[in-house]
Amino acid sequence: MTKAIIALMSLIIFSSFTNHEGYHVGDNATDFNLKNIDGKMVSLSSIEAKGYVIVFTCNHCPFAKKYEDRLVKLNKLTSKKGYPLVAINPNDAEQYPEDSFENMQIRAKEKKFNFPYLHDESQQIARTYGATKTPHVFVLNKEGKELKVRYIGAIDDNTESAADVKIKYVENAIEALAENKPVETEVTKAIGCSIKWKK
Amino acid sequence: MIFLLASGLKAQDVIDFEGLQKRIEKQNDTLYLVNFWATWCKPCIAELPFFENASESLRDKPIKVLLVSLDFKSDLERVSEFIQKKQISTEVVLLSAGNPNDWIDKIDPSWSGAIPATVFYKNKIKLAFHEGDYTKNL
C-alpha cells in the first residue's frame, strides 16, 4: 500500500472519533462574566431581560462579516421584545490577530454595534455552550430561576444575501418566546468558520 | 477520470446539492473523498496540499478526491484565481445549494456546518465523516 492510502485510511478511522459536546435545546445555560469592548465586565445577570440572543461571532470570518449589519438590526428588534443581543468572540487572537480585543473595539465602532461585544479569551464559554463556528446563535429564555436554551443555530436562511432571506430563524424564535409560545424551529444549521481553538 | 489541470472554475462547476449527490454517491468501487473548504478558510487551505498529494499519488487507484468550495457564488472568480494561483489539479466544484439547513444533515447529522469538513463515500455508502482539520494527525 502506498503512503497516501495508509494516510487516507487513518483519516477514515480518525473521522469516527468526532464528538460534539455542549448545549441542546432545553438545557440550562450558564451565565458568564466576560470583558466587553468598553473594558467593563458583562454578565447576563447584569442585563435586565426576559432572555438573551447570544451570538458567537468574530471579526475575520466572511460569514460573520455578512451578518454584522443584520445583527445591529436584529438587536433593535429583539431588544424591544425583551431579548437583547450579546455577541461573543471566542477565537484565538494569537493565530488570528484580526480577532484580537483591540480589533474587536475597532470593528464594533466601524459597524456601530449596538450590543455588547465580549471577549471569551479562555474560550470556556464557547466550549460550555458547544459553539463550533461563527456565527452561531443560542437563544436563551428566563424560565423561573433558570435560563433555558430555546434555539440553537443560524440567524436566517441566507448568509450570502440579506435581501434574499426567506426565513428569519432567530426573529421567529424570539417572537414565539415573547408570546409564551413554543419555538417552532428549535435547531438549524448553517455553514460557518470553525472556531479557532487555542493550540 | 477527468482532471482539471488548474484551469480555474467555470459556471458549469457551480453545482446544487443534487448535483453534488450525483457526483459522490455512485454505485461503483471508487472511494470518494469529499472535502468542504473555502478560499478564506485558513485551516482548509493548510490541508489542501494533503488532498492534492493524495489525488496525485492515487491517480491509478479507484479513489477520487473532490474539493467542494463553499465560497459564495458571487466569488466564483476569486475561487477560480485561487485554483490557478495554487496550481490545484484536484477537481473543484462550488456548491451553491440554497438554505444550508436543508442539506447539511444530509451530508452528516453530526456536522455543525463548520469547515473544513470531510466525508468519505463508497458504493453510495458513507464510510466516515469528520468536522475539523486533520493537520494535527498528518
Give the chain B residue nearest A187 (alpha carbons): B101
Task: Report chain A's mean pLDDT, rounded to a whole number.
Answer: 94
Q: Closest CB to B132: pick one of A2, A167, A194.
A: A194
Pick the CATH number of B12-137 from 3.40.50.300, 3.40.190.10, 1.10.287.130, 3.40.30.10: 3.40.30.10
Q: CB–CB of B137 and A193 under 8 A?
A: no
Q: CB–CB of A18 and B131 under 8 A?
A: yes
Show the cell assigned to B119: 466525508
Q: What is the ipTM of this complex?
A: 0.84
A187: containing domain: 22-194
Give the model's pLDDT for residue A16: 53
d(C-alpha A4, C-alpha B31), whole Å: 13
Give the model's pLDDT for residue A8: 74
Query: What type of residue is B88?
Result: I
State the alpha helices, DSSP H only, in A89-165. 101-110, 124-129
- pLDDT level of residue A20 (50, 70, 90 thresholds): low
Show the cell assigned to A74: 436584529
Give the model's pLDDT for residue B9: 83
> Which has more pLDDT, B43 or A6?
B43
Show the cell assigned to A153: 443555530
Give the model's pLDDT for residue A17: 52
In a domain, residue A7? The reply is no
d(C-alpha B61, C-alpha A160), whole Å: 38
Residues 24-63 of B with CB under 8 A from A: 31, 33, 38, 40-43, 50, 53-54, 57-58, 61, 63
Q: How do the domains of chain B map onto residue ranges?
A: 12-137
In a domain, residue A80? The reply is yes
Query: Considering only A16-20, A195-199, B69-73, which range has the smallest mean pLDDT?
Result: A16-20
Q: Which residues, at least 6 apart from A18, have a Cβ–Cβ distance to it below 8 Å?
A: B110, B129, B130, B131, B132
Q: Closest CB to A190: pick one of B100, B131, B132.
A: B100
In a domain, residue A133? The reply is yes
Give the model's pLDDT for residue B8: 75
Residue A199 has pLDDT above 60, yes or no: yes
pLDDT tens digit string along A78-100?
999 999 999 999 999 999 999 99
In a domain, residue A176? The reply is yes
CB burial class (10 A; 0-12, 13-18, 19+) of residue A126? buried
d(C-alpha B96, C-alpha B98), whole Å: 6
Q: What is the distance of C-alpha B125 from the center of its chain? A: 17
pLDDT tens digit string along A26-50?
999 999 999 999 999 999 999 999 9
DSSP state of B116: S
Show the cell assigned to A195: 472556531
CATH number at residue A155: 3.40.30.10
Give the model's pLDDT for residue B1: 43
pLDDT tens digit string along B53-94?
888 888 888 999 999 999 999 999 999 999 999 999 999 999
